[in-house]
Amino acid sequence: MDAHILALESSSSLCELALLSRTSAGVRVLEIAHEGTGDHAERLLPMADQLLAQAGLERRALTAVAFGQGPGGFTGLRVACGVAQGMAFALDLPVLPVSSLLAAAARAPGQADTVYVVAQDARMQELYAGVFAWSEQEGWQVLQSPVLLDVAQFVDWMERLHGSWTAGMPQARIQVLGDAVRQFPALALQVRARGWQVGEPWRAGARSVAQLALQDLDKGLGVAPELAMPLYVRDKVAYTITEREQGQGGNPAAQDQPVSIETMRAGHLDAVLEIERGVQSHPWTKGNFADSLAGAGYHARVAHQQGRVQGFAVWLAAPDVMQLLLIGVDPQFQRRGLGRQLLEDGLAWTRSQGLDRVVLEVRASNAQAIAFYRGQGFQMDGVRKNYYPADHGQREDAVLMSLVLADKEAA
């Protein structure tokens, strides 16, 4: 499918735009840049018009508008987001927010045996960090959503968590990218001393934002302009050094960010297991979840907000039907539509597999779950007697339910 994506990246003092065009002739990217934080707002639209003129396109030819959503400079993020929202609203286009740390990682030639840790200078002796991996099947994946760390904490943080990032990849290398390795030379020495690699001091670029946005566009991940927002990982951007020394700020999880749904990985399993134990009387084990990550036909997903897992779903594809095995939502985040988002995410995957019918089983006593599924269009097909184990050595019936996607779409 032809696509023309305008990408904006201004999370640093460098303001960049890229115009990615995918046609039958291939993919072409045009770029333009300007140095100077103070005039990003005045420069972006004229630079966009210049790129479109160079490509011989009208604004109406655009398919989507993308922007580097951060983390990064507060003013630059707001400007890029605001311009993207304005253009998308005027042209009735989706917006594709792209993590600026992921866009920095994506400048590397993705290798399946490497975990990429991006460390970006955040000023005041702090840095933003995120962790990413690449595979030929899935492209770029998030292993750790962006967090804010003191520079002195960074290596200890990596020591504590790197095993979860490389789970299932025993030969994986760890490479640290980003401008923090240049800004803090001692940090690079500490990284090398632990046997990890130090890569290029890259920051996000508009080209990599555009390339990642194309992947998201193909996955249907665009959002309405009013839902696009910058990614902040500080709850206050004007803390003084004295305030920081008193322990203020440094919030690693901005709670106003939208929930993201992505592939479940080994590093998620402890959080998933905690949710499962909180919502199921006879929960899956960690081994069960690990098997679903490695098994053929499984599709395991997590919903998270800034790295905190709030829910999960596990699906299994059969030759002619999709089976929903589990959906679990942390009780703290229930009744917010998260279960429905996880269900819709799985139904989209079901369609992509060429399947039209979903089946599931639910405990007969779980009236809340039965009502939820019925509200989503599932029909009750029957009862399987004494299927589930229950307390005190008893057994409980399973209610069999199914959904035909064509019926749901026609409703």
What gap in Å lies between CA 112 and CA 90, rounded to an integer?
Answer: 40
Q: How many CB atoms lie within 10 A of CB 10?
A: 31
- Report yes or no: 301 and 382 within 8 Å, Cβ to Cβ: no
- Report yes or no: 326 and 302 within 8 Å, Cβ to Cβ: no
Q: What is the pLDDT of residue 335?
A: 81
What gap in Å lies between CA 295 and CA 309, rounded to an integer?
Answer: 22
Residue 261's beta-bridge partner residues? 303
Q: What is the pLDDT of residue 254?
A: 38
Q: What is the pLDDT of residue 169?
A: 74
What gap in Å lies between CA 126 and CA 10, rounded to an integer?
Answer: 20
Which token pair is 275? 């949710």
Q: What is the DSSP string of 286-302?
A: HHHHHHHHHSTTEEEEE
Locate CATH 3.30.420.40 in the chain: 3-99+204-245
What b/e string do you get for 114-134 counting C-beta neighbours within 10 Å, with b at 16 or more?
bbbbbbbbbebebbbbbbbbb
What gap in Å lies between CA 121 and CA 203, rounded to an integer?
Answer: 10
Q: How many CB atoms lie within 10 A of CB 253?
A: 16
What gap in Å lies between CA 82 and CA 274, rounded to an integer?
Answer: 38
Q: What is the pLDDT of residue 251?
A: 42
Given the DSSP bridges, would you call strands 308-317 and 322-329 parallel, antiparallel or unpaired?
antiparallel
> Which of 35, 39, 106 minimizes the C-alpha distance to 68?
106
Q: How many CB atoms lie within 10 A of CB 324?
A: 25
Locate CATH 3.30.420.200 in the chain: 108-198
What gap in Å lies between CA 136 and CA 124, rounded to an integer?
Answer: 38
What gap in Å lies between CA 206 and CA 12, rounded to an integer?
Answer: 12
φ, ψ dihedrals at 172, nearest 5°? -65, 140
φ, ψ dihedrals at 212, nearest 5°? -70, -35
- Give me the helix-helix angle, 286-294 and 269-279, nearest 10°: 130
Locate CATH 3.40.630.30 in the chain: 260-410
What b/e string do you get for 51-88 counting C-beta neighbours within 10 Å, with b at 16 or more?
bbeebebeeeebbbbbbbbbbbbeebbbbbbebbbebb
- Report yes or no: 217 and 64 within 8 Å, Cβ to Cβ: yes
| Given the residues 116, 128, 232, 373, the one annotated as active site | 373
Q: What is the pLDDT of residue 149?
A: 85
Average pLDDT of adjacent 10-residue blocks, the chain of 411 residues: 91 85 92 70 82 92 92 84 91 92 92 92 87 87 84 87 78 92 91 93 92 90 86 56 44 50 86 91 90 89 80 93 94 86 92 93 91 91 90 89 82 57
Tokens 């290398």 belong to residue: 173
Q: Which CATH architecture has domain 260-410?
A: 3-Layer(aba) Sandwich (3.40)
| Given the residues 16, 232, 361, 388, the one annotated as active site | 361
Q: Any catalytic annotation for residue 373?
A: yes
Homologous superfamily of 3-99+204-245 in CATH?
Answer: ATPase, nucleotide binding domain (3.30.420.40)
Which token pair is 310? 């709030």
CATH of 108-198, one of 3.10.620.30, 3.50.50.60, 3.30.420.200, 3.40.50.300: 3.30.420.200
Residue 53's beta-bridge partner residues? none
- Sign of the CA dihedral 99, 104, 108, 113? negative
What proportions of the chain, in percent to the nearest 5, are helix, strand and coil?
A: 35, 35, 30
- Reported as type and span, the H/E element at residue 74 is helix 74-91
What gap in Å lies between CA 176 and CA 110, rounded to an integer?
Answer: 13
Q: What is the pLDDT of residue 409?
A: 66
Q: Any catalytic annotation for residue 159?
A: no
> Which of 240, 103, 127, 99 minimizes the C-alpha distance to 183?
127
